[in-house]
Structure 1
Amino acid sequence: MSRPIAVVTGASSGIGAEVALALGALGHDLVLGYGRNATAAKELAERITEAHGVRAELVAHDLTDPDLAQRQLDAVLDAVGGVDVLVNNAGINRRAAVTEEDAENWERVFAVNLTSPFRLAQSAAARMIAQGRGGRIVNVTSVHEHVPIVGGSTYCAAKAALGMLTKVMALELAPHGITVNAVAPGETATPMNNVPAGQDAATIARPAIPAGRPGRPQEVASLVAYLAGAGAAYTTGTSIVSDGGLTLTAAVANAALAGQV
């Protein structure tokens, strides 16, 4: 019996790398998408193959060009013979005041964080339907899918749109046995957030977060792996927040200033 095939974008570091490791450990053959860090992606593929005996193919993804990204995915899926899981993990962060944001950066963030994930999901879903064995799509959004942040007009809007896209896809694809969910991390100790690889989140104090620290990428990856598995067959169209309780604290600062806590 052939192994299930999982595609993970942004797999060269951080959350994406941990998702790839988790899915490899569960017996998935992998397609690892990466942007600029081909060396790290290759090393990860070799590590997973050696540890778990699964295939790990690489695909260079230029998510700033959604047409190209879709063609790149289609080519590698033709080569590996299908897809059972797509994890749209890759993304870029951006902070700029509303009055200072420019069209070029708005379009770049939307291309990477929304349009390319949509196009990749289109391709994956079409193949899953044709294969007739269902599938899993997991979109990694952000806590800012749900709550705003100053300077986050572009980033928050793109992530919120990806969250609603997740729900629409879930509704349309459910009759085909395809679930579509989102995982929305809060601050996570990854290179994208200027935390060196290997530094444990427990060494970083975050008093404003109830858990007292950022998240570990492995903790986010475990949610993605669950949603990609058979145990989540009845879970679709939802967004699971993994933020150490950050979104629970919206009124705390105001209450402190008012002398209520």
Structure 2
Amino acid sequence: MSISNPVDFTGRTVVVTGGTKGIGFAIAEAFLGAGADVLVCGRGEPLALPTAGGRTAHFLAADVRDPAAASGLVEHAAASFGRLDVLVNNAGGSPDADAATVSPRFVEKIVALNLLAPFYTAQAANRVMQPQESGGSVINIGSVSGHDPQPGTAAYSAAKAGLLGLTRALALEWAPRVRVNHITTGLIRTENAAAVYGDDGGAAVARTIPMSRMAAPGDVAGACLYLASGLASYVNGADLAVHGGGEFPARYLAVQDGARAHGPESRAVEGATTLDR
């Protein structure tokens, strides 16, 4: 780490799973811009790879739900660059599904992608990082669903809650050489998720967030740079919330909507009633 630039990753190697699109793409670009050699993976080769500072990420096709593929990804990075300093377990996600009718196969796939795959890649990364004098950093990208499940996310929420537990357990076992941390992400506006947030471009959704906007992928990327850097050298087993303050309680939003509907006089009365409770 450079004293003048604490997020200088020149000469360091970073692996980002699912780094070919969305949040992972932004994370890979951030590390490239900070000077790192970056390897991204996906199940199929993308049309374009992350690029920053005149440099481009390397790519390896890998389905990290397969333990052998996860291990091969890490081994490829170590063999290609001679070391591995940072692993970002970003690959994950799930479509909504009714818990009452969802198939066992669906549940198994969601848990494999969001919990087992990070375990497999972290395990392989630890084998490389432990002998290194500088150790290493593992960052698991989680979700607010792991704390506050939403309808249609039973398998996903359970897996993400497990990822947070896994982070804390590995942080206990692998320190001091390898630090393991977790980022709780909130609503993030990516191209793939845009349709989910409504025809208003997400304006209504943004009103539920204290920061008055959804996160951009770069917000998560910046948090990754911090956790992987020397600035966070004593941060281990942490859950860093990158969700804009969470979401306002439904009761609060209902009162605000009612106030807007009835005008200034009702707003004053309803506000006083809220304080009295």
After TM superposition, give the deviation of residue 227 of structure 1 in Å.
0.5
Q: Aligned partners of 2:149 and 2:179: how far apart in 1?
A: 27
Q: How does 1:56-135 map to 2 (within 5 A)?
A: 56-135=57-136
Gapped runs of 5+ residues in structure 1?
Answer: 197-201
Question: How many aligned positions are there?
Answer: 248
After TM superposition, give the deviation of residue 169 of structure 1 in Å.
0.8
Larger radius of gyration: 2
After TM superposition, give the deviation of residue 39 of structure 1 in Å.
1.8
Aligned to 1:163: 164
Aligned to 1:199: none
Indicate the SS of the match to 2:32: helix
Q: Which moved more, 1:59-68 or 1:164-173?
A: 59-68
After TM superposition, give the deviation of residue 68 of structure 1 in Å.
2.4
Q: 1:31 aligns with which of 31, 39, 46?
A: 39
Deviations 1:44-92 (A, max 9, x none): 2xx33xx255x73211121342332322332343232220000001112
Gapped runs of 5+ residues in structure 2?
Answer: 2-9, 259-269
**Contact in 1 for aligned 2:194/2:201 (Cα 8 Å):** no
**Contact in 2 for aligned 1:94/1:109 (Cα 8 Å):** no
Aligned to 2:29: 21
CA RMSD of aligned residues (A): 2.6
Aligned to 1:216: 216
Deviations 1:192-235 (A, max 9, x none): 31369xxxxx9631222222221111111111111011100111
Aligned to 2:181: 181
Indicate the SS of the match to 2:176: helix
After TM superposition, give the deviation of residue 255 of structure 1 in Å.
6.3
Q: TM-score, normalised by structure 1?
A: 0.86
Indicate the SS of the match to 2:14: strand
Q: Aligned partners of 2:221 and 2:63: how far apart in 1?
A: 23
Indicate the SS of the match to 2:175: helix
Aligned to 1:138: 139
In structure 2, give the amino acid aligned to 1:183.
Answer: I
After TM superposition, give the deviation of residue 251 of structure 1 in Å.
4.9
Q: Which moved more, 1:65-74 or 1:139-148?
A: 65-74
Indicate the SS of the match to 2:179: strand
Indicate the SS of the match to 1:40: coil
**Contact in 2 for aligned 1:13/1:40 (Cα 8 Å):** no
**Contact in 2 for aligned 1:13/1:191 (Cα 8 Å):** no
After TM superposition, give the deviation of residue 102 of structure 1 in Å.
1.3
Indicate the SS of the match to 1:175: coil
Indicate the SS of the match to 1:131: coil
Q: TM-score, normalised by structure 2?
A: 0.81
Q: How does 1:235-254 map to 2 (within 5 A)?
A: 235-249=235-249, 251-253=251-253
Deviations 1:146-189 (A, max 9, x none): 1111111100001110111000111111122x211111111101
Indicate the SS of the match to 2:47: helix
Indicate the SS of the match to 1:165: helix
In structure 2, give the amino acid aligned to 1:162.
Answer: L
**Contact in 1 for aligned 2:77/2:84 (Cα 8 Å):** no
**Contact in 2 for aligned 1:86/1:137 (Cα 8 Å):** yes
